Structure 1
Amino acid sequence: MELELSRTQLAQWRAAIFTIFFVTGLGFASWASRLPAVKADLGINDFEIGVLLFVMGAASIVGLSLANVIVARWGARRGLFATIIVFTIGVVIAGLGVSYSQSFAVTAVGLVFVGLGMSATDVLMNVEAAAAEQATGKTLMPLFHAFFSIGTVVGAGVGIAMAAWGVAVALHLWGIGVLVVVAGLVAVRFIPRREVTHDDDAPAATRSERLAQVLAVWRDPRTYAIGAIMLGMAFAEGSANDWLTIAVVDGHGQTEAMGAVALTVFSVAMTVFRILGGPLVDRLGRVWTLRILAVLAAVGLIMFILAPSLPIAFVGVALWGAGASLGFPLGMSAAADDPTKAAASVSAAATIGYIAFLCGPPVLGWISHQIGILPTLWIIVGLIAMSGLASGAAKPIAGSTVGAGHPRH
């Protein structure tokens, strides 16, 4: 039986999830922002940096798979305790490997833990976010993801400051690790134990049934339709994060500084639309919001590819970022419409989305090596169109109060 929560408890629950999204983004960006220092301290080349990133990415895919089992066996709340700690252990080991032992192998081991902990935490925090959204009855998922984006901006800013001040990678990462584990574990204490997130103390037989339910969602056609929405928009977002600066420099012949400005424009547009997205969805509904934003993203990306001047390219980047902002969070929200299988469905949807994030950049890199970066981006236009065509799958199921929309008459 579900626990009835007071308004104060609901507010604490939401604040706890906001915190976890923020510190996860902070931790990820803190590592990424120090890659030049990692390269220098370890005395390695770009290929070896690529190997480290591959190791973390491979571990992340394993973590995504384990998250489904964690939710089924221990629940999202208890699972978050474990995954946040695993992530922090990874940060500590990676810092030790970079700054003290200066060992490629030790650093790689740390990144295995980082990848496992971060990806599993991503799935579990989205499970809790979806449950909080359903309990509140309002679209909150875009705002939760905005806090992750804000965390990455803060993490990148802190990383710039640490690099400018000459702070060792280990000291920087250890400080962030302490902040993540303390804030994360305190936040988890304010997440209620609820059956919908599998945090109730059920007998072993029920847990076995839960594991079967996790596998059953992969036989539901709606899972794959929602996955198509998230796949297209995950590629749209991930391609910008990894290739936009290169596209500005190599494709449009601009300076590296202009590439950084373009990425900033994209990130700001995405974050702003995630902050504003909830009320928009509650007015227009999930399906029409996704359709409109898919058109916006496709038009923006086409403008960027064909832009005859830098100002037009920047307008395209802003539209691209705004249009790509809500596909992933609204896919998560749609997956959680049925409370009886919310945890399993959100886990499956998250797995599809994060695999796109992890596998998309190297695939695009290989293609761009063959045909050039700007022609490669037409593939993303096609994937955005696929996402828009699939957006009907995000229509709330009968009984769900989130995402239906309430147009004015």
Structure 2
Amino acid sequence: MSSPSPYLRRIAALYALFLLPGTLAATWITRTPDIRDRLDAATDEMGLVLFGLAVGAMMGVLSAGLWVRRFGTRSVLAVNVVLMAAGMGVVSVGVSSGQSLVAAAGLALFGAGMGLAEVAINIEGAAVERLSGRALMQTLHGCFSLGTVLGALVGIAFTAWRVPTEYHLMGLTLVTLPAFWWAIRGLPLDTGKRAQPTAVRADTPDTDTAPPVSVWKTPRVLMLGTIVLAVALSEGAANDWLPLLLVDVHGVSPALGSLGFMLFALTMTLGRFSGNALMRWLPRHTLFRLCIILALVGVALITLTEHSGVAIAAVVLWGIGTSVGFPLSMSAAGEGDNGDAQVAATAIMGYIAFLAGPPMLGFIGEHAGLDRALMVVLAVLALGLAVSSAVRRPEKTPMTAASHNG
């Protein structure tokens, strides 16, 4: 089963299913300054709007394991597409009418679809990785980041051309629907179902195949969870607040604010696609430490500087530094006899930070400023660096030969 050829169509489908949600997510992110203005929302009110996204996504993440085990990843991903499309439609209505609550409700639907997809595509990716003997996670997550770059480029262009946000959101959603359906049809029907336990991944703590209590008490798992929490909060903060931070704090134009996010997404993409090659030269834990230090420097610069040029350069460091932490930690968590449960526990901590952290930063930013709110990100990144030894590769792991990592 080491030949990847039987899975080429399935792998291509996975590439698309990681790339397309990234594109749609960036569509929302690049238009946040315009959406904020159209809703006439203060920073804390934007935090509430984003909280709708966090609530929906958390519900999707925590329930996805149950739905996958009952219906399989393909059916869950089909539901995800419906929810994301409906959510974008409701968001468009909210923006055009200036109703923050309607926009928040639409983001909740969109987030629920994203949450379901996050779990389902990782289950599918893990199954293909096992069956083909190929290390795919770095590349798959790189496809998500590549999607954010493409979405950001479209967002920059539409912002510069003053295309109404609601037309942008719905137009891109409709354009991507055929690609979603093509990709979903390339997946088998039964991945993740109870009837096929070899394809099941434990993803949430509230189901009968959830991580046992002992996993949550394992020091290495808690350390890896802390690392994932740190990099997820860093990525989520940039995704939700970077354009507004550059526009409001550093005084750049909305188009340049979108460009700043595109640079972050681009450096994230480059970092993830080059991760496996870099690990041929550097041990995994050394690469992670170097990257997390770059993230610390980048966030510190964008927090403390008042110069827009320095802030844009800091975005590059921030993106590179944040890029590899999540995939590396997930690979480390998957090693050992109880790898599935360890991955599940680690991922949950990351998703909580990714989804709930940015709205919290919005509430802090309303009172102290968005630049000062990033001090929280600095502190959590420093904590992740302190426990970085958890990423160190054990002497022997099942995936060493397949991953070609040093």
Q: 1:141 to 1:378 in 2, by over 3 A?
A: same
Q: Distance in 1 between matches of 2:31 and 2:312?
A: 27
Q: 2:208 aligns with which of 190, 209, 212?
A: 212
Q: Does 2:358 match 1:361?
A: yes
Q: How far off is 1:116 after superposition?
A: 0.8
1:27-72 Cα shifts (integer Å, max 9, x gaps): 222234445665677x654466554332222111111111232234
Q: What code does the residue aligned with 1:276 have?
A: S
Q: How far off is 1:327 after superposition?
A: 0.8
Indicate if the aligned counterparts of 2:61 and 2:116 stay in contact, CA closer than 8 A: yes
Q: What code does the residue aligned with 1:24 have?
A: P
SS at match of 1:213: coil
Q: Distance in 1 between matches of 2:361 and 2:216?
A: 29
Write out aligned runs for 1:248-263 (5 A).
254-256=251-253, 262-263=260-261
Q: 1:270 to 1:102 in 2, by over 3 A?
A: closer
Q: 1:127 to 1:333 in 2, by over 3 A?
A: farther
- The residue that corresponds to 1:351 in the other structure is 348
Q: Distance in 1 between matches of 2:169 and 2:251?
A: 33
Q: 1:228 aligns with which of 226, 229, 237?
A: 226
Q: What code does the residue aligned with 2:271 have?
A: F
Q: 1:386 to 1:26 in 2, by over 3 A?
A: same
Q: 2:195 aligns with which of 194, 201, 204?
A: 201
Gaps of 5+ in 2: none
Q: Does 2:330 match 1:332?
A: yes
- The residue that corresponds to 2:387 in the other structure is 390
What's the Cα RMSD here? Answer: 3.9
Indicate if the aligned counterparts of 1:274 and 1:326 stay in contact, CA closer than 8 A: yes
Comparing 273-282 with 226-235, greater Cα deviation is found at 273-282
Q: How far off is 1:230 after superposition?
A: 0.7
Q: Percent identity?
A: 33
Gaps of 5+ in 1: none
Q: 1:52 aligns with which of 36, 49, 68?
A: 49
Q: Distance in 1 between matches of 2:19 and 2:133?
A: 22
Write out aligned runs for 1:170-319 (5 A).
171-192=167-188, 198-199=192-193, 201-202=195-196, 211-216=207-212, 219=216, 221=218, 222-244=220-242, 254-256=251-253, 262-305=260-303, 313-319=311-317
Q: 1:13 to 1:339 in 2, by over 3 A?
A: farther
- The residue that corresponds to 1:30 in the other structure is 27
Q: How far off is 1:228 after superposition?
A: 0.8
Comparing 20-29 with 303-312, greater Cα deviation is found at 303-312
SS at match of 1:198: coil
Q: Distance in 2 between matches of 1:171 and 1:371?
A: 34
Q: 2:121 aligns with which of 120, 125, 128?
A: 125
Q: What code does the residue aligned with 2:143 have?
A: F
- The residue that corresponds to 1:142 in the other structure is 138
1:200-249 Cα shifts (integer Å, max 9, x gaps): 6359xx99999322142753524322211111112222333344456556
Q: TM-score, normalised by structure 1?
A: 0.79
Q: TM-score, normalised by structure 2?
A: 0.79
Q: How far off is 1:121 after superposition?
A: 0.8
Q: Distance in 2 between matches of 1:90 and 1:81?
A: 14
